Every structure is written in C-alpha cells, then in structure tokens.
C-alpha cells in the first residue's frame, strides 16, 4: 500500500507500519514503495510502547511508528 492511500484510509491516526519494499536513496532517505499496516494506536505513548514490543519480537523486520497528518514520510537512515 502507498502512503497516500494509507493517509486517506486512516486520517489523523497513529500507526505502526512495516516497510515491505523499500530502498535508501543517495540522501540516506528511506523510500517505502510498499507499506503494511501493523497496528492502529490511539496516542503517541501507546504507539511507542507497541512499536518497542513488535521490534523486540521481530528485530529483523523494518517497523516505523508514524502519524497520518504527515503528508510525506521523511525517514532518514543514520550511518554509524
């Protein structure tokens, strides 16, 4: 699913999403071509708590917590 479709289906919501198909561009920005919705949360505290639970249970998967009021996803990869 695309971010624009998700925003229309879930207006003004906190979501945990998974990058199903993604790449990093030359500016270290993650571009998500296909997004799965993992959970819908009522507030920022509950979304962070659930994100940590999912990430601990499935560390190999690429989860993010986001709010649908953002027109574009701006996810940056940090190089350590």
User: Given CA atoms 79, 21, 7, 56 in this order, what sign does their dihedral have?
Assistant: negative
What pLDDT digit, counting tens, does each position of 27-75 carry? 999 999 999 999 999 899 999 999 999 999 999 999 999 999 999 999 9
| pTM of the shown model | 0.91
Cβ(26)–Cβ(79) below 8 Å: no
> What are the E-state strand segments in the chain?
14-24, 29-41, 63-67, 75-76
What pLDDT digit, counting tens, does each position of 35-47 carry? 999 999 989 999 9
19/60 Cα distance (integer angstroms): 11
Q: Where are the domains of the chain?
A: 3-76
């Amino acid at each position: 699913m695309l971010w624009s479709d998700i925003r229309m289906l879930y207006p003004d919501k906190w979501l945990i999403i998974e990058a199903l198909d993604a790449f990093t561009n030359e500016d270290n920005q993650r571009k998500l071509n296909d997004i799965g919705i993992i959970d819908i949360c009522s507030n920022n505290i509950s979304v962070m708590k659930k994100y940590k639970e999912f990430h601990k249970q499935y560390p190999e998967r690429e989860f993010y917590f986001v709010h649908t009021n953002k027109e574009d996803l701006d996810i940056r990869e940090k190089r350590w």
